[in-house]
Structure 1
Amino acid sequence: MDFRIFTEPQQGASYDTLLRVAQAAEELDYDGFFRSDHYLRMGDGDGLPGPTDAWITLAGLARETRRIRLGTLMTAGTFRLPGVLAIQVAQVDAMSGGRVELGLGAGWFEKEHTAYGIPFPDRRIDRLEEQLAIVTGLWETAPGETFSFEGAHYRLTDSPALPKPVQSRIPLLIGGMGPKRTPALAARYADEFNLPFVSVEQTVEQIGRVRAAAEERGRAADDLVYSNALVACVGRDDAEVARRAAAIGREVDELKANGLAGTPAEVVERIARYREAGSSRIYFQILDLDDLDHLELIATQVRPQLG
């Protein structure tokens, strides 16, 4: 199992806080550091010191880390034009020496759009399909050739399709529980399919849909990586689990039912069930970004038991 750290900075985190977490994750040999792409806090609280931009953050981290993979779960398609996004991601890939991955979604949180004057269009899944075609098309265009695209939502004419990423292919992540179009888009474009905050049973069901869609397209289902993002609340004993749950405003029983909560042994057992369901990568959603001991506990007491 690959272990990655997943953060939600819109809940209240500065760049310096994210840097400390990313560097700690790298030192603890996690495979990746990922962040959400949101501009507004969800739930109670003031969200101080305020939001940070996902790709500006990742650009900074690209220069201040050495090994760890960097990416988004998920970049909101409503925030950036696809041609501009392709340039941004390729540049950060170069800044990192080829360590970037792009999670791209349709965008869903309408309130943050109205709060910051960002259009929130209809038919976002249609737009996402065109965005995926444009971003991948720009990157795959041979040097010296141009890229054009004409869709219902976007038009590009004779783009030089530059810059190119450092990686021969930037891994592209698609996720969600849509029963038809989401698996079809993953089968066509994704290197990884991510399941956010769902049960083992839902994981089995949706991975089955994606695998079937891949095979229908003539692609080997095992070409894709299947992953889960789940909130983490791990403690050496029940008291430490309760303390960490209280720190993020959650109940232990609810976290055990819906996330990765409990002692290391309990969490190992839970992750093993997701592995049996077909997942080979876990994104630990860390909500208390000041608790670096939490990352160390998972790295030293959970990961060694899962290989």
Structure 2
Amino acid sequence: MRLRIFTEPQQGASYETLLAVAKAAEDLGFDAFFRSDHYLRMGDGTGEPGPTDAWITLAGLARETGRIRLGVLMSAATFRLPGPLAIAVAQVDQMSGGRVDFGIGTGWYDAEHTAYGIPFPGLRERFDRLEEQLEIITGLWRTPPGETYDFEGRYYRLADSPALPKAVRPEGPPVLLGGLGAKRTPRLAAAHADEFNVPFAHARETGAAFDRVRAACHEAGRTKPMVYSAAQVVCCGRDEAEVKRRAEAIGREVSELRENGLAGTPAELVEKIGTFAELGAERLYLQVLDLHDLDHLELLASEVMSKV
């Protein structure tokens, strides 16, 4: 099981804070540093100092880290046009030496769209746009050098695109899709994803979502392996007092975190991670909400990661 650190900087984090977490995660041996792609805080508070753009952040981290993989869970298809997004992701991939994983979804948080003047169509259209974006972005990356790319869809049209720049790998960065959708999500994953992620769900829901994607892959005749992963909020302590202290720091109750995430002593976390491994998960994204508590990362590395 590979453990990845996942952050939510829209809740209030500067680039310098994210850099400190990313460097600590790299030094401690975590597999990847990921961040959300949101422009507005969720819940109470001001969100100060304000949102940071996901791909600008990763561009900076690409030059200030050397081993750890970098990515997003997930970029919203509503935020960016597919052509410019393909350019940005390929450039960050080049800047990192091929260490980018590209997660994309429909977008769901309507309030952030209203706050920053971003159109927010209905769910059906958002899925339609996501499907076209996946075709375009991967098509641009995979167009052989010297050839051009064309696309004619309902929402996007590309003509005589030079399909540049190129990512480090000819096929482009690995693509992540995820969610609990029962129909279109598994079909899109089977067609486009290298990795399928289930965020913040109980083990039973996670296993059911994995099975739906496996079935969609079989129906599509897919032979390429799929990586399965999950994301869970994490709150670890050496004893109950330390668990409680960390839960209070993020405004959560220990009992709720134990029910809905990974909370407790290292031994408790190792046991629950094993449950996700039994379902077929190969990677687990640990949602770290207190980005100033680097001792938390050290504990997770020494007492949890070393045992899974």
TM-score by shorter chain over 0.5: yes
* Residue 220 of structure 1: how far off its partner (Å): 3.1
SS for the counterpart of 1:157 is: strand
8 A contact 1:98–1:167 mirrored in 2: yes
Give the corresponding residue for 1:297.
299
In 1, the alpha carbon distance for the partners of 2:137 and 2:20 equals 31
In 1, the alpha carbon distance for the partners of 2:32 and 2:51 equals 21
SS for the counterpart of 1:3 is: strand
Give the corresponding residue for 2:232.
230
Give the corresponding residue for 2:88.
88
1:150-161 matches, within 5 Å, as 150-161=152-163
Letter in 2 for 1:19: L
Q: Which runs of 4+ in 1 moved over 6 A?
A: none
In 1, the alpha carbon distance for the partners of 2:21 and 2:126 equals 32
Q: State the Cα deviation string for residues 72-94 of structure 1 (Å, max 9, x = none).
A: 00001000000000000000001
In 2, the alpha carbon distance for the partners of 1:170 and 1:116 equals 29
SS for the counterpart of 2:164 is: coil
1:1-307 matches, within 5 Å, as 1-122=1-122, 123-168=125-170, 169-220=172-223, 223-306=225-308
* Residue 277 of structure 1: how far off its partner (Å): 1.2
8 A contact 1:55–1:89 mirrored in 2: yes
In 2, the alpha carbon distance for the partners of 1:24 and 1:83 equals 33
Aligned length: 305
Structure 1 stretches lacking a partner, 5+ long: none
In 1, the alpha carbon distance for the partners of 2:296 and 2:289 equals 10
SS for the counterpart of 1:108 is: coil
In 1, the alpha carbon distance for the partners of 2:31 and 2:306 equals 14
In 2, the alpha carbon distance for the partners of 1:242 and 1:5 equals 21
Q: State the Cα deviation string for residues 190-248 of structure 1 (Å, max 9, x = none).
A: 00000000010001101000001011111137x01100010000000000000000000
SS for the counterpart of 1:33 is: strand
Letter in 2 for 1:45: G
SS for the counterpart of 1:49 is: coil
Structure 2 stretches lacking a partner, 5+ long: none
In 2, the alpha carbon distance for the partners of 1:171 and 1:191 equals 6
Letter in 2 for 1:287: L
TM-score by length of 1: 0.98
